[in-house]
A and B are shown apart, each in its own frame.
Chain A
Amino acid sequence: MNLKRPREGIRQSRLGRIAPLARLALRIGGRYLARSPQLVFASVERRTELRHDLALRSAEEVAEELGYMKGVLMKLGQMASYVDEDMPETFRSAMARLQHNAPPMSPALAASVIVDELGDAPEHVFARWDAWPFAAASIGQVHRAITRDGRAVAVKVQYPGIAQSITSDLRNVALLRRIVTAAFPGMDPQSLIDELGERLREEVDYLLEADNQEYFAQYYEGHPVVHVPRVVRELSTARVLTTELVSGERFEKVLQWDQHERDMAAETINRFVSRSLYRLHAFNGDPHPGNYLFHGQGRVSFLDFGLTKRFNDQDLVPLVKALRCLVIEKDGECFRSALERAGFLKPGAPVPTETIVDRFGLFYSTVLQDAPMTITPAFASAIVRRFFDAKGPLAPYSDVPRTYVILQRINLGLYAVLGSLNATANWRRIGAEMWPFVKGPASTPIGEAEARWEQERAGRDLTLALR
């Protein structure tokens, strides 16, 4: 791969032109909460066309829609949404449809969940309550409300009975095995089922999601462009999750913004993913366009922490090593042995190291060169195709160990998102800011703002520690 380096002058002038504007934006970046709750409440509109006329009116209707394996298979469909290259046709269309949402709950049914979980009717628990949801969630729906102490909030309400139903479905391993074997002929059914079970058990427990979201929210507190809504603990239970309400533009809208804005949004998403991984050792599962809200000038709110994975140092060591070997040291053997240690590649595969560097290297191609690079939709889909290439020379020897399944999803999803934005940046320098073995200098205005935030943060932490 030989990417041509654009002339330095052009790059400089472009950066020079946008910098003051970006800095200004970054200074006001913290103002997500400055607007009145009433205004935020009013500005958050329905995100998807929900079929109110088909609203589910009883737990029995919910069960028919999402119980009896359906919810579980929908999750499998979501997990498989990047895997569909190899899927038999029968399942491909099924999986595509599975990603759609169930009809919403009727106001009475949703209210009954609030009564069960928070002890009183929503009109009493909240100062204002919108009886119809504004968004669908995989096993629930989201209502906007204003708390009695005046905060605009998003209240995620889980479908009644769905947690028990999913638990029971997951116990039917024999049936799951049949389905998974049929839908993913090339993959190890047990590890997929295990992953599915783990994810779903996490997802049905909103308290776990609350913990994860708070973990991210606290870390990113005051960050210039990354915003994670805070959790309202006293109004959250295992089945109801109340968080700060955010209004912003949807991904589809951002696609119509000018390229400069799109680049900044992409940079923030990319920074969020690397920073979370390398600094926080955590991953917010699904880089799905629906999980972002955009505020312009690179500011992005990250929603939905139902799928979060935390890594320990042990998990990260081989990944970091592979990255360092390939990108910094340019040492193929070192790269190969790191992949083998992580379990991505069977040790002793009869394949020359150059082939391995060539095939796996594609996944690192955005950071191989110290130069701006555009992630086009074509590049993003080439990555996905290569990843699921069952016929390539490495196919018999490569695998994704379970620890990293979700990481791979995130990476592929990230490329898809950046590809749709057709985003250009010097991804290498942005990455190097975060890599533990480089700790490179700030390379963009957002990076500078982030560095300042990090300093302030360290100061704050120190003050806290001294207290």
Chain B
Amino acid sequence: MEPLARAFSRSVSEHPADGGLFGPQSVVWRMHRDRSFPLAALRSLMVQALHPLAMAGVAEHSNWKEDPFGRLAATSGYILTVTYGDTAAAHKAADRVRAIHSHVNGTDPATGLAYRAGDPSLLLWIHAAMIDSIVHVVQRYGRGLDSAAADRYVWEMVRFAELVGVPAKDVPASVAALEEYIESVELRQATPAARDAIAVILDPPWLEDETRELWRDLGRVAAGTLPAWARSMYGFGEPDPESMQREPVRQLIGALDLAFETLPGVMEARERIELRMRG
């Protein structure tokens, strides 16, 4: 978890030039520091991987299998920088992502279709799967989010998609629009690459024995939060309702969060966010 801690600490700069793209009063700031975020991240990955072309781009062009936490840390660092960094830092980070995307092209072996990572329709899928997961998980296991705030969050995050190259007019701006969009995407399937990736994420071979069981529990909960269509594509069974209850899940998240929080720099970064939100 150290790379994640470093990414977190780096992304929340100590002397930002301004409030960034969203500002301390935004719903985005509140959502992105929710303790349920690791669960939302796992669910995001599981949904995102169900688009064969998005999955192929990751499988064929990323070193994630050699350095999965490094890869996760890069993504999480990007989200945090765009959220809590100042405007210049956010744009710089987005430019870098776009530059990387421009080199990621190929043909998906499973469907035979060509892909480009910079393709706005792929980027939109990635965006929507992430936003849907964050809203779902925070509503269910986070600090609480009413439907107005959820809509407001989806709307605020249009800017986020725009930053990597999705035209604003194409980005769903409400929870309902988001769900409608996801249902409308026809190319959804669990390719071998996706199954492979998710199996590794659910039971990472490089995890220390001490934390493995806790991580597996978290993975099971994340799988349990998937929409029925995604669950059946992966062949996951119905989740055990008891283990999906708010209390035990928050306890699990709390235990993992404590382990994260004790890493160098994490507390301090959290305090910086808190203080700026308090104004």
Which residue on A lies nearest to B248, using beta carbons? A172
Q: Which residue of A lies closest to B247 (CB)?
A: A168
> Is B262 a contact of A182 with CB atoms below 8 Å?
no
What residues of A have a CB within 8 angstroms of the CB of B35 in the complex?
A: 64, 68
Chain A residue at minimum C-beta to C-beta distance from B214 = A178
Given contacts A94-B258, A94-B262, A178-B217, contact A172 B210 (CB under 8 A): no
Chain A contacts with B in 47-94, Cβ cutoff 8 A: 51, 53-54, 60, 64, 67-70, 73, 88, 90-91, 93-94
Q: Is the CB of A169 within 8 A of B251?
A: yes
- Residue-wise, chain B 242-279 has the 8 Å CB interface mask toward A (1 for contact) of 00000110111111011101110001000100110010
Determine how close the nearest CB of chain B comes to the CB of A66; give it in whole angstroms.
9
> Closest Cβ of chain B: how far from A187's Cβ, in Å?
14
Residue of A nearest to B213 (CB): A178
Interface of chain A, main secondary structure: helix
Residues from chain A with Cβ under 8 Å of B267 in the complex: 97
A98 to B261 CA separation, bound complex (whole angstroms): 10
Whether B210 pairs with A182 at a CB distance below 8 angstroms is: yes
Q: For the complex, what is the distance from the CA of A54 to the CA of B35, rounded to whole Å? A: 17
B211 at the A interface (CB under 8 A): yes
Q: CA separation between A90 and B255, bound complex, in Å?
A: 13
> Is A42 located at the chain interface by the 8 A CB criterion?
no
How many residues on the A side are at the interface (Cβ–Cβ under 8 A)?
27
B143 CB–A CB distance under 8 Å:
yes
Within 8 A of B (CB), among A148-207: 168-169, 172, 175, 178-179, 182-183, 185
Residue of A nearest to B266 (CB): A97
| A175 and B251 within 8 A (CB) | yes
Which residues of chain A are within 8 angstroms of B144 by Cβ–Cβ distance?
60
- In angstroms, Cα B248 to Cα A88, docked, is 25
Query: B252 to chain A: which residues have CB within 8 Å?
Result: 69, 175
Q: Is the CB of B255 within 8 A of A53?
A: no
The winner among B208, B213, B255, B271 for most chain A CB atoms within 10 A is B255
Cα separation A94 to B208 with both chains bound (whole Å): 15
Q: Which of A51, A64, A73, A96 contacts B255 (CB 8 A)?
A: A73
Q: What is the bound-complex CA distance between A88 and B258, given in angstroms?
A: 16
The answer to whether A60 and B275 have CB atoms under 8 Å apart is no
Cα separation A282 to B96 with both chains bound (whole Å): 65
**Cβ-closest chain A residue relative to B253:** A68
- Separation in Å of the B219 CB from the closest CB of chain A? 14
Given A69-B255, A172-B251, verify A90-B275 contact (CB < 8 Å). Answer: no
Pick from B208, B214, B254, B275: contact of A70, CB below 8 A. Answer: B254
Q: Which residues of A contact B271 (CB under 8 A)?
A: 51, 54
Residues of A within 8 A of B210 (CB): 88, 90-91, 182-183, 185
Q: Which residues of B contact A175 (CB under 8 A)?
A: 217, 248, 251-252, 255
Q: Are A53 and B278 neighbours in the complex by a CB distance under 8 Å?
A: yes
Q: Tally the A-B contacts, defined by beta carbons under 8 Å.
A: 71
Contact with B along A226-265 (1 / 0, CB 8 A): 0000000000000000000000000000000000000000
Q: A54 CA to B271 CA in the complex, in Å?
A: 7
Q: Which residue of chain B has the shortest Cβ distance to A68 in the bound complex?
A: B254
Interface of B is mostly: helix
Please give, as numbers and ranges, the residues of chain B lying within 8 Å of A96 by CB-CB distance. Answer: 262
Chain B residue nearest to A51 (CB atoms) is B271
Question: How many whole Å from B253's CB to the nearest CB in chain A?
Answer: 7
Give chain B residues whose Cβ lies under 8 Å from the Cβ of A88: 208, 210
Known contacts: A73-B255, A97-B262. The answer to whether A68 contacts B250 by CB under 8 A is: yes
A68 to B275: give the CA distance in the assembly, Å: 23
* A residues in contact with B247, CB < 8 Å: 168, 172
Q: Are the CB atoms of B274 and A182 closer together than 8 Å?
A: no
Those of B203-218 within 8 Å (CB) of chain A: 208-211, 213-214, 217
Contact of B143 among A60, A168, A185 (CB under 8 A): A60
A93 to B258, CA, bound (A): 11
Q: Which residue of B lies closest to A172 (CB)?
A: B251
- List B contacts of A91 (CB < 8 A): 210, 259
Contacts of B208 in A (CB 8 A): 88, 90
- Contact in complex: A69, B278 (CB < 8 Å): no
Whole-angstrom distance between the Cβ of B143 and the nearest chain A Cβ: 7
| Cβ contact of A179, chosen from B143, B214, B253, cutoff 8 A | B214
- CB-based nearest A residue for B260: A94
Instruction: Give the residues in chain A near B217, CB-CB below 8 Å.
Output: 175, 178
Query: Separation in Å of the A452 CB from the closest CB of chain B?
Result: 50
Determine if A68 and B251 form an interchain contact, defined as CB atoms under 8 angstroms apart.
yes
The chain A residue with its CB closest to the CB of B1 is A90
Asked if residues A179 and B255 are in contact (CB atoms below 8 Å), the reply is yes
Residues of the A chain whose Cβ atoms lie less than 8 Å from the Cβ of B248 = 172, 175
In-complex Cβ contact of A53 among B214, B253, B262, B275 (8 A)? B275
- A69 CB contacts on chain B under 8 angstroms: 251-252, 254-255, 258
Complex alpha-carbon distance, A172 and B214, angstroms:
13
The docked-state distance in angstroms from the alpha carbon of A90 to that of B35 is 20
Of B208, B248, B252, B254, the most chain A CB neighbours within 10 A belong to B254
* Contact present for B251 and A182 (CB under 8 Å): no
> CA separation between A172 and B251, bound complex, in Å?
8
Taking CB atoms and an 8 Å cut-off, the chain B residues in 41-73 that contact chain A are none
Whether the pair A90, B211 counts as a contact (CB closer than 8 A) is yes
Residues of B within 8 A of A68 (CB): 35, 250-251, 253-255
With both beta carbons as reference points, the residue of chain B lying nearest to A96 in the complex is identified as: B262
Cα distance A70–B261 when bound, in Å? 11
List the B side residues contacting A183 at CB < 8 Å: 210
Rounded to whole Å, the gap between the CB of A106 and the closest CB of chain B is 11
22 A-B pairs in the complex with CB atoms less than 8 angstroms apart: A54-B271, A54-B274, A54-B275, A60-B144, A68-B35, A68-B250, A68-B255, A69-B254, A69-B255, A70-B254, A73-B258, A88-B210, A91-B210, A93-B262, A94-B258, A97-B262, A169-B251, A175-B217, A175-B251, A175-B252, A178-B213, A179-B214
Given A70-B257, A168-B247, 17 more contacts at CB 8 Å? A53-B278, A54-B274, A60-B143, A68-B250, A68-B253, A69-B254, A69-B255, A69-B258, A73-B255, A90-B259, A91-B210, A93-B262, A97-B262, A97-B267, A172-B248, A175-B252, A182-B210
Q: List residues of chain A with CB under 8 Å of any chain B CB.
A: 51, 53-54, 60, 64, 67-70, 73, 88, 90-91, 93-94, 96-98, 168-169, 172, 175, 178-179, 182-183, 185
7 tightest A-B contacts by CB? A68-B254, A182-B210, A97-B262, A94-B262, A69-B254, A69-B255, A68-B250
